Amino acid sequence: MFYGSSAPPRVGIVALLQESNTFLHQKTQIDHFRQDLLAIGGEVRTRLEGSQHEVGGFLAGLTEHGIEPVPIFAARAFPYGTIAAGAFDELMTTLLAACDDAGPLDGLLVAPHGATVSEQYSDADGHWLTMLRQRYGREIPIVGTLDPHANVSRAMVDACDALVAYRTNPHTDQQPRGREAAALIADTIRGKIRPLMAAAFPPLAIGIERQHTGEHPCRELFAAADAVLARPGVLTNSVILGFPYSDVLEMGSSVLVVCDNDKQMAQGLAQELAATMWSYREKLVGYFVSVDAALDQALARTGRVCLLDMGDNVGGGSPADATTLAAELVRRRIPDCFVCLFDPDVVRQAQGAGVGQRIEASVGGKTDDRHGQPITSTFQVISLHAGKFTEQRARHGGITSFDQGPTAILRAEAGLTVMVTSRRMVPFSLEQLLSCGLDPLQFRMLVAKGVNAPIAAYEPVCDHFIRVDTPGVTCADMTKLDFRHRRRPMFPFERDTRYEAS
């Protein structure tokens, strides 16, 4: 380990991020990573340097602290189903080979998502973090970032010296958290600190609908965490909200506290924060607005409304082609509305017809029978696009480059504008619309397939947000999902669950 030699210390960078919705029947394959991000060695720097992603923060932070960044491996796929066994094996083989090529290291910065599930490993993040710890031993520090939608495991905690979760949802602080992790590992390598981490696991699952960090009660919960963070000896702490769409033993909320050379203090503060989280449990239960009620509310409001389609939350792994909300807009013939649907067959149909032509098409509702029926109508083909766009501002996910594949803009006779994509796309950027010649200001209502994540993008153009309780694999009421492996008892599934932080 480096303690003052002339050569700067070398810190490796490894990232593997995928949020796995185990309730979706389809699997995440290796091509899903290739379509988004699968980079080795220097290509990691090329793809992520200067980005709002935590790896962008790793690279900048290490350089600022006089440490040589050693990019090793970065893989990311949009949230979807469980990772197929063959795909995960290929990722692990590629990761280990990249580690071989990296040479000796003085530390590792890692970026797991925290809610990754493969067919072989329900705790996939714990698996690969443990694999790295066993490979490098306890001689070097491993510090990482986490998504607050992580389902934290003991294996993740045991494998790392410190973990730092984003403090915002929508996630707009990924790069700062990457810089924070880089500062922690720099001080650890130079012997300035000795980070010791503790975790607490209250038996609590928090629905996505209640996970906006700028709204009550998460606002107050994170304020409590900030107050603990100000105490002497506390290096960092994290409130983990959890990801309820992974049916695994680890599903649920947790708290992490990292102190300087004081494990007992870290454990006590983790339990203290866990008790605070538990005290908010009733206020963390979701509030559900039906489709009819949501549209009635939207029509009664002055200004532009974003309808958040919670049952088809693409950022939570949904199929992106649910039609329940869009079909009701058509049925009511509400003008000047927008929705994006994944349907490559209809894109090809529109391409074949050409711009300006009318087509009879059935759009969306084709992944399975849980997300509505196709919308059948006469559509005019307004425009055709390549489907690539970029976002430079801090937005949820820290993603800079997007590719939703060939895209068609269609307009139904009932007044609904439909963006039809060849790839599933998360609604994290207004550039998705602007790049296709659509002005968000031209619409009265815009459907965004998410819960909290789209708000960062749509806030500049929308006066109101309504979270809509639509059906699907990301339905807001998680008690409707068929869990087989979660912890029991757990609130709110078992409302009489008791917890004493100790």
Q: How many domains does the chain divide into?
A: 2
In the sheet with 305-309, reading across from the earlier edge strand, the strands are 358-363, 375-385, 407-412, 416-421, 337-342, 445-448, 305-309, 464-468
The answer to whether 440 and 446 are in contact (CB under 8 A) is: yes
- Whether residue 144 is found in the same domain as residue 230: yes
- Whether residue 260 is found in the same domain as residue 313: no
- Whether residue 440 is found in the same domain as residue 365: yes
Domain end marker among 259, 284, 309: 284
- Whether residue 270 is found in the same domain as residue 299: no
Q: What is the pLDDT of residue 390?
A: 96
The answer to whether 340 and 458 are in contact (CB under 8 A) is: no
Alpha-carbon distance of 208 to 210, in angstroms, equals 5
In the sheet with 37-40, reading across from the earlier edge strand, the strands are 37-40, 68-76, 10-17, 107-112, 142-146, 162-165
Kindly report the average pLDDT of the chain as a whole number: 96
Amino acid at 238: S
Q: What is the pLDDT of residues 442-501, one digit of tens each?
A: 999 999 999 999 999 999 999 999 999 999 999 999 999 999 999 999 999 999 999 987
The answer to whether 316 and 208 are in contact (CB under 8 A) is: yes
* 495 falls within a domain: no
Q: What is the pLDDT of residue 3?
A: 44
Cis? peptide before 492, omega within 30° of 0: yes
Alpha-carbon distance of 351 to 409, in angstroms, equals 11
Q: What is the DSSP string of 61-106?
A: HHHHTT-EEEEEEEEE--SBSPBPHHHHHHHHHHHHHHHHHH---S
Residue 81 structural domain: 10-284
- Whether residue 313 is found in the same domain as residue 341: yes
Cα dihedral sign, 245-471-308-26: positive
* 486 falls within a domain: no
* 2 falls within a domain: no
* 494 falls within a domain: no
Q: What is the pLDDT of residue 4?
A: 47
Say which residues have a Cβ less than 8 Å from residue 103's Cβ, sequence separation at least 6. Answer: 10, 70
Domain end marker among 225, 253, 284: 284
Q: What is the pLDDT of residue 5?
A: 56
* 216 falls within a domain: yes
Q: What is the pLDDT of residues 402-449, one digit of tens each?
A: 999 999 999 998 889 999 999 999 999 999 999 999 999 999 999 999
Alpha-carbon distance of 472 to 26, in angstroms, equals 14
- Whether residue 374 is found in the same domain as residue 225: no
- Whether residue 39 is found in the same domain as residue 146: yes
Q: Nearest CA to 462 among 444, 483, 478?
A: 444
Burial, 331: exposed, middle or buried (Cβ in 10 Å; 0-12, 13-18, 19+)?
exposed
pLDDT block averages, 10 residues each, the chain of length 502: 69 98 96 97 97 97 98 97 98 98 98 98 98 97 98 98 98 97 98 98 96 96 97 98 98 98 98 98 94 98 98 96 97 96 98 98 93 96 98 90 97 94 97 98 98 96 98 95 97 96 74
* 405 falls within a domain: yes
- Whether residue 309 is found in the same domain as residue 387: yes
Q: Nearest CA to 277 among 256, 253, 257, 258?
A: 253
Q: What is the pLDDT of residues 198-210, one digit of tens each?
A: 999 999 999 999 9
- Whether residue 125 is found in the same domain as residue 206: yes
Question: How much is the pTM?
Answer: 0.95
Q: Is 440 left (phi over 0), alpha (psi -120 to 50) or beta?
A: alpha
* 451 falls within a domain: yes
Q: Nearest CA to 346 among 329, 368, 321?
A: 321
Q: What is the pLDDT of residue 198?
A: 98
- Whether residue 89 is found in the same domain as residue 232: yes
* 468 falls within a domain: yes
- Whether residue 295 is found in the same domain as residue 265: no
Q: What is the pLDDT of residues 267-286, one digit of tens each?
A: 999 999 999 999 999 999 98
- Whether residue 351 is found in the same domain as residue 242: no
Domain end marker among 284, 309, 335: 284
